[in-house]
């Protein structure tokens, strides 16, 4: 994957990792297609980039619009070299307090939306036998933790789909697939996360506030894409330890998560605010 002069389509580009990644690839000489819900934020971002951008605002789950948007994106510069599926929403609610409507919303936004866009762009890439697909999953795509049952389920589903897709198109058509699994990053992800009733949480949490800098994360992603990395985990502390523990010593990981679950259950029983803490993995 060569970033310079490439056409790169980024969803969820109006803030957070998506915005930082748009700045990083544009600084490296890429032409960007910027998508997200907030047209004003996308246009403001485009105005600061050193290379030309196409602003394509849309709601991730507006599936009927996707074919026309793919055509518009593809025709802008005669193809899309890299699609980065970044748009998503998180969750901060215990399973016992989460409605099925919230689970459906999480799956629609975090799984079906990126898959739908990918399904439409891949045939174009196959026709010319080149291209690259990236998806922002999460450490939660490998590890289930309290307060994120629906989010983790959707991110696990992403890993299954994109690992399978890579197997089908990498050698057969020369199309790369990169799965990216960040831990806590200093973004609005916790503030915008869904509560059990579907309302936005409205406040951040310590893990996110003390998380990785989005610009540092974007730099690592660009480096990984240019190196052809298939899977990239970007995490620190206990989150960095969690993924290898899941396969090497799962009981240690399960014990740590169970302790956190017990703490949250006690807070709920006491009528206290149920907030995530820092999980210790020993």
- Could you give the 3-state DSSP secondary structure of residue 4? coil
Within the chain, what is the greatest distance between any pair of CA atoms?
60
Task: Give CA separation, 178 vs 78, 135, 136, 158, in Å.
Answer: 23, 7, 9, 11
DSSP character at residue 2: -
Q: Of these residues, 103, 151, 161, 162, which one is catalytic?
A: 151
Q: What are phi and psi of 268, to 5 degrees?
A: -65, -45
Q: How far apart are CA 238 and CA 277, in angstroms?
A: 12
SS3 178: strand
Q: Report the Cα 142 to chain-centroid distance in Å.
A: 13
Task: Measure CA 219 to chain center.
Answer: 15
- Residue 151 annotated as catalytic: yes
Which residues are part of the catalytic machinery? 151
């Amino acid at each position: 994957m060569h970033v310079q002069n490439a056409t790169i389509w980024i969803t969820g580009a109006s803030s957070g990792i998506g915005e930082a990644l748009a700045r990083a690839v544009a600084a490296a000489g890429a032409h960007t297609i910027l998508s997200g819900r907030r047209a004003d934020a996308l246009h403001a971002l485009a105005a600061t980039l050193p290379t030309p951008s196409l602003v394509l605002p849309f709601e991730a789950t507006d599936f009927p619009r996707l074919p026309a948007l793919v055509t518009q994106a593809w025709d802008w510069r005669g193809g899309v070299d890299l699609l980065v599926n970044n748009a998503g929403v998180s969750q901060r609610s215990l399973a016992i307090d989460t409605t099925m409507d919230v689970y459906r919303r999480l799956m629609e936004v975090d799984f079906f939306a990126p898959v739908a866009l990918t399904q439409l762009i891949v045939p174009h890439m196959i026709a010319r036998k080149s291209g690259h697909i990236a998806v922002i999953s999460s450490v939660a795509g490998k590890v289930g933790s309290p307060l994120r049952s629906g989010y983790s389920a959707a991110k696990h589903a992403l890993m299954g789909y994109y690992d399978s897709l890579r197997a089908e198109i990498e050698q057969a058509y020369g199309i790369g697939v990169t799965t990216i699994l960040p831990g806590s990053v200093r973004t609005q992800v916790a503030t915008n996360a869904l509560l059990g009733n579907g309302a936005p949480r409205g406040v951040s949490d310590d893990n996110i506030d003390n998380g990785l800098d989005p610009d540092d994360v974007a730099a690592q992603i660009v480096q990984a894409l240019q190196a052809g990395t298939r899977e990239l985990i970007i995490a620190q502390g206990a989150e960095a330890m969690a993924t290898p523990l899941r396969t090497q010593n799962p009981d240690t990981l399960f014990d740590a998560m169970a302790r956190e679950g017990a703490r949250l259950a006690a807070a709920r029983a006491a009528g206290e605010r149920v907030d995530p803490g820092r999980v210790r993995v020993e």
